Amino acid sequence: MNWTGVFPAVTTKFYPDGNLDLESFLMNLDVQLEAGVHGIILGGTLGESSVLSQKEKTLLVKETIQHVKGKVPVILNIAEGATSEAIFWAQEAEKLLVDGLMLLPPMRYSPDERETLTYFKSIAKETGLPIMIYNNPIDYKTLVSLDVFEQLVEMENIQAVKESTRDISNVTRMINRFGDRFKILCGVDTLAMESLLMGADGWVAGLVCAFPKETVTLFNLIKAGHIKEALNLYRWFLPLLELDIHPKLVQYIKLAEQMTGIGTEFVRPPRLNLIGEERERITSLLQEGIEKRPSIEQIEQQILLSK
């Protein structure tokens, strides 16, 4: 498993009546692949996993793997309250030929460090799949500390971390303490450039769902050392990336997908589609971003001319 590059946490597409819209879902996957993403993550917050049935999750995994045809790894997010349920999904993912797992601490309960460590180890022991730990104490109230990672070193299939602590220094702390033992992927869109410059290996991205080409180009520019060009692109992108850190990120990003022509805005209750002033405000922000969208071709041409 190569935990390097841009990994979209893709949205799940629905029809207005709430049924799965596989046609729109697969169309968006095609645009992601064409843009050069390095992996696909299913069943995250953006994927509205909490309102999907077991049957629907399984169908999405099967359809994705069949559609992607091994071009990039397919990763399943596991966010469960019970250790047994997490183990079930880890083993089910193996049967479905998933390439890797993104694993959150227990949901709906705030475990202490001993419980967090036991939870991760219990799941890792029951699967051979590579695992990325999702460290997001802001949204999920559990910090996976460096001391916990120290005790996870012995679990060979725990290979990466989605770093969402909002503390840029944590990238350096992880590298200083563990070297390259754990791959580090930025999990907060608004800190992507900063994290990558500090040594992060990848980016679990949200706005990539609507702006895949810009996201992949930004990653590539940073990693190639074209900082001036990356910074100009990032400054355009940041007002849009800030939609990723709002409680309604799903509605906002789905509206962005619709406005860029590669998705639909429909969500499943208890989420509701945007209305009124809020919809007008987000639409205006997105429209301004689309109108000022940089030309990736021009950026690439400028780099060629500067050589």
pLDDT tens profile 86-134: 999 999 999 999 999 999 999 999 999 999 999 999 999 999 999 999 9
CATH number at residue 71: 3.20.20.70
Secondary structure class of 38 (helix, strand, coil): coil
Q: To which residue do tokens 């992996």 refer?
A: 39
For residue 304, the model assigns a pLDDT of 82
> What is the layout of strands, in order, in the sheet containing 74-78?
5-8, 202-205, 183-186, 158-163, 131-135, 100-103, 74-78, 40-42
Please give the pLDDT value at position 306. 74
Query: What angle, rounded to 10 degrees, do the helices at 276-291 and 249-259 form?
Result: 50
Res. 307 pLDDT band, cuts 50 70 90 = low
Could you tell me if 124 and 158 are in contact, meaning their C-beta atoms sit under 8 angstroms apart?
A: yes
Domain containing 164: what range?
A: 5-306
Q: Give the tokens for residue 219.
A: 């990653």
The secondary element (H helix, E strand) that includes residue 255 is: helix 249-259
Q: What confidence score (pLDDT) does residue 164 get?
A: 98
Tell me whether the omega of the peptide bond preceding residue 247 falls within 30 degrees of 0, making it cis. no
Q: Average of pLDDT values for 165-188? A: 98
Distance CA 120, CA 104 (A): 9
3-state class (DSSP) for residue 173: helix
* Non-local CB neighbours of 41 within 8 Å, separated by 6+ positions: 7, 8, 9, 10, 47, 75, 76, 77, 102, 204
pTM for the whole structure: 0.96
Beta-carbon count within 10 A of 283 CB: 15
Give the number of domains in the chain.
1
222 CB-contact burial (10 Å; exposed 0-12 / middle 13-18 / buried 19+): buried
**Exposed (0-12), middle (13-18) or buried (19+): which is 302, by Cβ within 10 Å?**
middle
* Per-residue pLDDT band at 303 (split at 50, 70, 90): confident
Q: From CA 148, how far away is CA 92, in angstroms rounded? A: 26
Helical (H) or strand (E) element with 300: helix 296-306
CA 257 to CA 211: how far, in whole Å?
8
